[in-house]
Amino acid sequence: MRQIEAFPAGGDSGAAAARPEESRWGDVFDPSTGQVQARVAFSTLADLDRAVARAAAAQPAWAATNPQRRARVMFRFRELLEANMQALAELLASEHGKVVADARGDVLRGLEVIEFSCGIPHALKGEYTQGAGPGIDVYAMRQPLGVVAGITPFNFPAMIPMWMFGPAIAAGNAFILKPSERDPSVPVRLAELMREAGLPEGILQVVHGDKQMVDAILDHPGIAAVSFVGSSDIAHYVYSRGVAAGKRVQAMGGAKNHGIVMPDADLDQVVNDLTGAAFGSAGERCMALPIVVPVGEATADALRERLIPAMAALKVGVSSDPDAHYGPVVNAAHKARVEDWIQTGVDEGAELVVDGRGLVLQGHEQGFFVGPTLFDRVTTDMRAYREEIFGPVLQIVRAPDFESALRLPSDHQYGNGVAIFTRNGHAAREFAQRVNVGMVGINVPIPVPVAYHTFGGWKRSGFGDTNQYGMEGVRFWTKVKTVTQRWPDGGAGDNAFLIPTA
């Protein structure tokens, strides 16, 4: 069976074959067939120590390399991503379960952050004040943090690692990546390609594992900062433990994004956008739209009437099927969890309009498929409304007017993304201004900001105060040093016993 190793494989202790008998492993499935296709070798605490030591040894020279040269590695890496796009997408799809075209999008959205990182010389330019006092100039520079780490979820195994290591490495840090143990192959490939692009040894390493490895990273005194993306309870835990250990931490969590549909919206467009945003990638996106809020009963009825045939036309297939709209969920446990949530919705009194449970694909009977599911008359007291399901389940929550629609996402525990569909500019502007959510789409169902803006949710969707990528990312991965300088022209001044003021 294929074995997935850390990067560099075996650390400096040599080949994978030398792993001790008691080593821990994780199964990596092909969600389309339901079979284990590989096993991933969990790194040990000694492996992590070695990786940190290697990173610490390599980082000063990398930080001292001028930013243009660091950027050139990013340029070359970008070319290698392009050249390997199809292979990366197929590998990703085979472990995650999303369809190959969608897996290309996963790689591409990461590539865009690499493109942003190619501009790091500009992004790192400091600030300067001439004449802040008599003969005094003040300047500020951004310096890398040293050895940093990223812990990533299964659902975007290419994009999210690149959100993190792109700006972190371009800014002069050495980066240790702990990807999800469910689909770890693409992250390892990315590290290999970075090396091929000319990145010095030790600047990007991959360790594998589960909670044990996460805890070791959080407690490691040699790691200065941790970026985490995953579910909210774990994000909160990672944030608290990392900060208690004196690290800089940003931790993005789960989501339950709402799409508000105003009575004047173009419903055909909305249905088109909604089916993609609710069911694409089997709903396993933190920016999916699992809740739709039609404003007014007439809007709700018309929307529901259009949604049912649109859902019936969706094709669920294996991840390599070019005609499939979406593939299986990531593993059997997650399939069971999604189906349990559907039952919870039924038990809580929501109206199950389309039931996606029990979907079996001929020839792939063991695959982890869940059909598109629709609930109507979902209410805010239901657990199935309050919690993240992370599957192909769309819930209709009817709202009588704009104000009550606005309150739903604003009062929800999660605050990642939200969308409003309307032709009314005033309503859209008012909504964007007042909604208590971090990323807003106006007639855009999945408002993931472009790479030179920044990504981050509010409330339980994000712990810490800086976002991923864009200038916020550069700020997270660097610290500011401020220099106040004076070049006296001879002659001793007065003794200064008082604090200087300008």
Strand partners, 420: 260, 442
Crossing angle of helices 159-170 and 67-83, in 10° steps, is: 160
**Closer to ligand NAD by Cβ: residue 345 or 391:** 391
**Closer to ligand NAD by Cβ: residue 43 or 155:** 155
**Closer to ligand NAD by Cβ: residue 154 or 368:** 154
**Closer to ligand NAD by Cβ: residue 71 or 234:** 234
Strand partners, 440: 418
We find the least distance from the C-beta atom of residue 249 to ligand NAD, in angstroms, to be: 13
**Closer to ligand NAD by Cβ: residue 23 or 485:** 23
User: Whose CA is closest to 458, among 265, 284, 297, 254?
Assistant: 254
- Identify the burial level of 442 via C-beta atoms within 10 angstroms of its C-beta, where 0-12 means exposed, 13-18 middle and 19 or more buried: middle
We find the least distance from the C-beta atom of residue 95 to ligand NAD, in angstroms, to be: 12
Sheet containing 478-486: give its strands across.
127-133, 136-144, 478-486
**Cβ–Cβ < 8 Å for 235, 253:** yes
We find the least distance from the C-beta atom of residue 210 to ligand NAD, in angstroms, to be: 5
**Cβ–Cβ < 8 Å for 187, 175:** no
Question: What would you report as the CA-atom Rg of the chain, rounded to the nearest whole angstrom?
Answer: 25
Q: Considering the candidates 286, 338, 374, 419, report the single residue annotated as catalytic.
A: 286
The b-or-e profile of 288-300 (16+ CB within 10 A means b, else e) is bbbbbbbbbeebb
Chain residue whose CB lies nearest ligand NAD:
230
Question: Is 118 noted as a catalytic residue in this protein?
Answer: no
**Closer to ligand NAD by Cβ: residue 143 or 436:** 436
**List of residues contacting ligand NAD (CB under 6 A):** 151-156, 178, 180-181, 210-211, 214, 229-231, 234, 252-255, 286, 388, 390, 416, 457, 461
We find the least distance from the C-beta atom of residue 316 to ligand NAD, in angstroms, to be: 20
We find the least distance from the C-beta atom of residue 228 to ligand NAD, in angstroms, to be: 7
Sheet containing 204-206: give its strands across.
204-206, 174-178, 147-151, 225-229, 248-252, 462-463
Q: Is residue 488 classed as helix, strand or coil in its secondary structure?
A: coil
We find the least distance from the C-beta atom of residue 407 to ligand NAD, in angstroms, to be: 22
The b-or-e profile of 177-205 (16+ CB within 10 A means b, else e) is bbbbbbbbbbbbbbbbbbbebebeebbbb
Give catalytic residues, as residue numbers. Answer: 286
